[in-house]
Amino acid sequence: MTFGKTKYWQICSILKLIYQNPGITRKELSCLLSIDKAMVTHIINYLTSDNWLIKKDPFAKQIPLHLNADRLYVAGVEIQPEYQHLVICNIQGAILFKKSWAFSQPEISDFINKELTETINKCAYDVFAVGLAIPGVCDTENNRIIASNPFKIEAPTELPKTIGKKQIPIFIENDTRCLGWNKVSFEKDFGNFLLTVYQCIDNPENQDEYVRISNGVSFFSKGTSWAGAHNCAGEIPDLFSIKEYAAGNNFIPYCEKL
């Protein structure tokens, strides 16, 4: 795809670098991407006119570039058997809207198509994408849950790919891995880190006990998540193969393959 003489990848690369490095200059972009400075200026002018960028000091010799934080909004949804949380934030991660539910063991697709759709349709923000955090092993490419012990899902379960009147795209991820993406996206941690989560979920009817203890592990390297041997999210510690499930729910836990 091109915009005149401008290639789509050039625009995406420039936006990504400005997002990762607020205050970067056109000269630095030109050097990092090996793009002619005149072309960089052309793209910057296009992005500025389209309200993607803010020039905080237009009179500076080397203008620092920043993304317009409110150019688009994204929604994050955590769906657990005991509770469900929705937040809508801007590009910088500032939370602008929150809502919670306390449905017990909801049918996930029904929750998405009813409560979640209704809320997003009525909210005051033009949501660009929705990310779902689900406990279990997730096939992120096909938007389905391979298996989930908390939801008692033992066979692949398809989830909606869009939501709302505007057909907003939905992206599904393992819940622990979503926390890792939060560090990458909003804290801009592009190093190597291992994220471990141990969550004790209270029993609302008895404060002296937990209804469930949840744990998860996710590894990130250079801004990218480790997807496991079978390219699934949530493969640690229970690893499953998408192909084996697709062939009739016949799977061998990864630990038994070693």
Domain regions of the chain by residue span: 2-67, 73-246
CA dist 213 and 27 (Å) reads 51
Mean pLDDT of 66-86: 94
User: Quick one: pLDDT band at residue 5, thresholds 50, 70, 90?
Assistant: low
User: What share of the chain in percent tops pLDDT 70?
Assistant: 83
User: Quick one: pLDDT band at residue 13, thresholds 50, 70, 90?
Assistant: very high
Q: End-to-end CA distance of the chain, in Å?
A: 44
- CATH number for 73-246: choose from 1.10.3720.10, 3.30.420.40, 3.10.520.10, 3.40.47.10: 3.30.420.40
pLDDT tens-digit readout, 84-109: 999 999 988 999 999 999 999 999 99
Q: Could you tell me which CATH number the domain at 2-67 has?
A: 1.10.10.10
- Report the pLDDT value the prediction gives residue 243, as an integer from 0 to 100: 53
| Predicted TM-score of the model (pTM) | 0.80
User: What share of the chain in percent tops pLDDT 90?
Assistant: 44
> With the C-alpha atoms ordered 92, 94, 99, 103, is the resulting torsion angle positive or negative?
positive
CA–centroid distance for 95 within its chain? 15
Helix ranges restricted to H, 140-174 = none
Helix ranges restricted to H, the chain = 8-20, 26-33, 37-49, 108-111, 117-122, 175-185, 242-246, 254-257
Number of CB atoms found within 10 A of residue 152's CB: 9
- Report the pLDDT value the prediction gives residue 205, as an integer from 0 to 100: 85
Are the C-beta atoms of residues 234 and 136 closer than 8 Å to each other? yes
User: Quick one: pLDDT band at residue 213, thresholds 50, 70, 90?
Assistant: confident
The encoded tokens of residue 237 equal: 């510690």
Detail the DSSP E strand segments found in the chain: 2-3, 6-7, 53-55, 65-67, 73-79, 84-90, 95-101, 127-134, 137-139, 144-147, 157-158, 162-163, 168-174, 192-203, 206-221, 224-225
Classify residue 23 by its DSSP letter: T
pLDDT at 12 over 50: yes
- Report the pLDDT value the prediction gives residue 187, as an integer from 0 to 100: 87
Instruction: Classify residue 147 by burial, with Cβ atoms within 10 Å: 0-12, 13-18, 19+.
Output: buried
- Report the pLDDT value the prediction gives residue 254, as an integer from 0 to 100: 43
pLDDT tens-digit readout, 111-169: 999 999 999 999 999 999 999 999 988 888 899 998 898 999 988 999 999 998 889 99
| Ranges 45-49, 110-114, 240-244, most confident | 110-114
pLDDT at 203 over 50: yes
Are the C-beta atoms of residues 150 and 212 closer than 8 Å to each other? yes
Mean pLDDT of 196-200: 86
The encoded tokens of residue 253 equal: 């836990």
pLDDT at 245 over 90: no
CA dist 27 and 63 (Å) reads 9
pLDDT at 33 over 60: yes
Mean pLDDT of 226-247: 55
